[in-house]
Amino acid sequence: MNLNRIAFPQAADDRLVINDATRHQYYATMQAEVCDEDMLDVAFNRRRARAMQARDQRKLAGWFALLSGCAVVGLLWALT
């Protein structure tokens, strides 16, 4: 058993190491992740708008459930 290999793994064993074979993919990935600040602001604004819309829909559903419950209770009270 080679304890030195376990304690100190070689860089060649690492799939994520940047070498001559992976340099092009690394830089292509890094360039793809760079985005314009305006694009980032637009994306955040879309996300915020979707979150606000979902929150409003949950509020509306809550009010609808509450009013439906009141209507059912009122109907049962009127029938008894």
Mind giving me the DSSP string for 13-44?
G-TT---TTTHHHHHHHHHHH---HHHHHHHH
- In tens, the pLDDT along 18-73 reads 667 777 776 666 565 656 677 778 888 888 898 899 889 999 999 999 999 999 99
Count CB atoms within 10 A of the CB of residue 22: 13
pTM for this structure? 0.43
- Which backbone phi and psi does 10 adopt, to 5 degrees? -80, 150
Structural domains of the chain, count: 1
Rounded CA-CA distance 42/36 in Å is 10
Q: What is the pLDDT at residue 72?
A: 96
Structural domain harbouring 21: 3-79
d(CA 30, CA 51): 29
